Structure formats: C-alpha cells, structure tokens
Chains A and B, each alone.
Chain A
Amino acid sequence: EDKVVQSPLSLVVHEGDTVTLNCSYEVTNFRSLLWYKQEKKAPTFLFMLTSSGIEKKSGRLSSILDKKELFSILNITATQTGDSAIYLCAVEDSGNTPLVFGKGTRLSVIA
C-alpha cells in the first residue's frame, strides 16, 4: 500500500527530448509535496509544492500539483545528459510523521 507512487520507474530519452515524470500520493492531511534530484550522493532539493495549479519553475524544470486528483508532475524540457539522475517525490502530511518517499524515477538522457 504505497502512499507515494512514481511513474515511470525508469526512462531513457535522447538529448533534447521533453520528459514528464509523475507522482501520485495518498495521505491523510496533505501539507506539501517535494521533488528531489539525486545523482551520485544525497538528494538535492528541486521544488516544494503546497497549492494546486501553481507552477513552480527553475530553468528547464517545472512542476505542478493537483490536490484534487492527488498528483504532481515534473517536466524537464530540452533534456541534457546532466539531467540523468533519480528523481524522487516525497509527501509530507501535517501530522507528526516524517516524509514519505516514492521509489523514484531513474532518468537516463543519452546523447
């Protein structure tokens, strides 16, 4: 009974392609959804989403949350080989429980 489900689990694209990564969740009292990029070591923060319909953007990456349908997407346009990483989605609820992670999407961008 995964609470945070990411899809696809892995993805191989060519440089220049646009990709969309999905994260669906189920928590009792939603507080925030977070996206992370993990290359070789510890995850690095990308976005925190708390409100539906408001796109967060950073360069070629963008993300949006749909609290009604309980999912978020992470878009990467004009992919580069440096985008190759595991992308992690995590959800925080407003109770006293820690973040719940999805299994991640392993993205490979080939030249």
Chain B
Amino acid sequence: NAGVTQTPKFRILKIGQSMTLQCTQDMNHNYMYWYRQDPGMGLKLIYYSVGAGITDKGEVPNGYNVSRSTTEDFPLRLELAAPSQTSVYFCASSGASRALEKLFFGSGTQLSVL
C-alpha cells in the first residue's frame, strides 16, 4: 500500500518563486493535514481539511494556500516563496479520528528558499 505520498522530497526555490507540494493518499481518509517543522522545533499546522471541498487554517497559514477537490489529494501552494518558508513540510492523513495515533505521514519535503 502506498499510504501517503508526498512530492517532491527536496526543493530549492528562489525568493518570489512559487511551487506546489503534492500530497495524495490512497486510504480514503477524510482528514488531511499540512505541517511544517523548522529546525529543532515541533510541528506547526499550516492547513487542514476534514473532507473534500473543506479546508481550514491552522496555526501558521500565511503565505500558503490549499485546495481539496478530491478525497485523495491535498496540495499545498506557496505563491511567493520567502526565506521564512525554509522548512521541512509533512503531509498527513487520518480516517475517523484526529488523533495522531491514527495519522499517517508522508516522508516529508525539505524546502529551502534562497
């Protein structure tokens, strides 16, 4: 089973560039999340979705956008990359519960904005 597939694994952007981090899951999960993790820090929630067509802001949504047109896909868009967005990004999904015990993580995307 593929689980949560996140691409790309690494990316370097110049300031002002845009990109989309892709996330797809094949477990028919309703809940999907995007987290960022700065060096030596915990996970901060950027956006989340409780189902197709529904998205909500997390703790640090500024500079990002998301969409959830299908149950499987939850892409994260950076419109104007800034150095402050240098981080590791994790996509995750869960079924009926929000509890992390039941969360499945993607392998992460290391993004550097120079």
**What is the interface of chain A, defined by CB distance below 8 A to chain B?**
6, 9-10, 31-32, 34, 36, 41-43, 45, 48, 86, 88, 90, 92, 96, 98-104, 106
Contacts and interface: CB of A to CB of B under 8 A. Distances in A.
B33 interface: yes
A104 B105 CA distance: 18
Contacts of B90: 42
Contacts of B40: 9-10, 86, 104, 106
B105 A45 contact: no
Interface of B: 33, 40-45, 48, 50, 58-59, 90, 92, 98-101, 105-108
Given A42-B105, A43-B105, A98-B48, A103 B41 contact: yes
A10 B41 CA distance: 10
Contact of A36 (B44, B45, B48, B100): B100
A50 to B, nearest CB: 10
B101 A102 contact: no
A99 B45 CA distance: 9
B107 A41 contact: yes
Identify whether the interface residues of A are mostly helix, strand, loop, or mixed.
strand
A104 B100 contact: no
B37 to A, nearest CB: 8
A36 B102 CA distance: 12
A100 B50 CA distance: 16
B22 to A, nearest CB: 16
A101 B44 contact: yes
Q: Which 7 residue pairs across A and B have the least CB separation, nearest first?
A: A42-B105, A101-B42, A104-B42, A103-B42, A101-B43, A45-B101, A34-B100
A41 B107 CA distance: 7
Contact of B43 (A10, A43, A48): A43
A6 B40 CA distance: 13
Contacts of B58: 98
